[in-house]
Chains A and B, each alone.
Chain A
């Protein structure tokens, strides 16, 4: 089986007045075909930039990306339409991906028109089917995106991305504007599409409970790099990287009685600026178990107990730190 996405040595640096921002700074990522791959990590650690760079919405400073076995930039250049059909992106901000003047119906029909899918009647039927898929009533068809609630808008953008039945779907925070019940509907929809159509999904998400529940694989990022990766359930059961441990510990319990008494790891300090990442381990400025060597040498990803890999000097296949 070929991998759906393989990124090697990906870097995205932004030149700003204040200096070079290393938003993504050397990421290797492999997403298996048919995987439901979660990307999690601190706000600002480069998840959106990485997701955009994977599909070419953001040009990479360095590195290559292969999608479905083909070099992404070659593919996108030589067969723009074919690429757009196969690979779809859902934005963090749903309004940003829709025209303010188009109704929901037009928004959903547009990709079908551009790719000359069916006749007008078939397209209308497909639009109705898409609305059903994302559990929106037909009455939204005549409305403008701005007049919908946040969650309704997000579902429109999901429906639009699914219109052409893509093979790879990359979504940046598609769930955060949704309420939990609709979130469950959408996640179950993704899981169904994945099982039935072999769709590969990469999802940037902050809802770790959902990631644990539905993702097959997960990548934890910190400050532009991969801190840890592995099979979602295994990694979440026994995270090896101190940052992952702190991240998971911060997930609140839905029961206020448990939440009031639950021990928590609180991270001290702020994340460093990606303009000037610390030498050595990127987490060393906040790591509760930091050692002198952490501030000098950057730890490489190495195999750890849960079967995945982590970038921490104190972690290997036999043991890891517990904070």
Chain B
């Protein structure tokens, strides 16, 4: 007599997790243990509780995971409601992470979601190391880059420069714009990290200031003139706040005046908001598609119940329907997911001098550097308490602070890039101390 597989709530998922198959991942070991392990031990972090994040939380909660956390610094806005289905009108103004976590827990029994209402940079590195998989639902290149560098910093290489498997923390990343989107799987050290393929996200083109000031031609030029030039001329020192409707209205009316002056059509309030805030159009359906792909990959990585996406899926629904999988290659020389930048040092160099070197290092150009070694803070720029506590280390030799270890990995955080476009980042350095073999150390000889 045939009997139904189960009438429990994992009725559908059980077919995938309890039954063997031939088109599955190499580690797949079907059975109730697998189902229980997913529920008990797998811990997934969802970064972002916006359009993608809301979907991801729901999809993951229905994909066998019971331990989820979500981090987002934003509060709910009316313009989120056309797609962020966990939020209602009366939630406007509340933290996204908190409301999202609560709503999913209300409806999906047994799932536990811990919300974190803060910036991603506010968390210690250890926070991120605690998760089995990290799923990204972000809309900014900077935030992706930051999380990527954090996750890659956990990666360790063995003596043969092969990544140590136990240090690989998988990431799943989604992104959408209008009818288009992408989903990707990042296995640091194995598949390209976000930085290896950073060219996929070309920087936004900005209008030259001389065009804005002298030869405006489009409505956007008039708006940016009001926003980037006129505002500062008129408002002595007052910073422009894009979320203040009065400020936006001022920009709009100035843009209209300028457009009239030059005979340029097309300035509207909607366009003004779009240009000033760089608004990316977003709809529920694209977010649903991309998040679903990300959640499915998360389930596959965690359980091995099928093959995994290798490694980049694009979706485009503008002209018909196009999906494409591209297998991008890792950049061998990637500063972020590679074995780390090799830095050779004398055993006598002080922490302070080491930090100074990083500012000038052509591949790093780091400012406001903080240094940590094996989870221990050697020097921290902030907060003030930590700065004070670690300040005395600055004059000590780095070699000693690293317990005279001849070579090891040191993590540094700071601001990278040229002035104006600085971005917080984390870099992994392979520090090697030169053996002096009785040769007189010139620095010591001269410096004393």
Genuine A/B complex: no
The residues of A with any CB-CB pair to B shorter than 8 Å are none
The residues of B with any CB-CB pair to A shorter than 8 Å are none
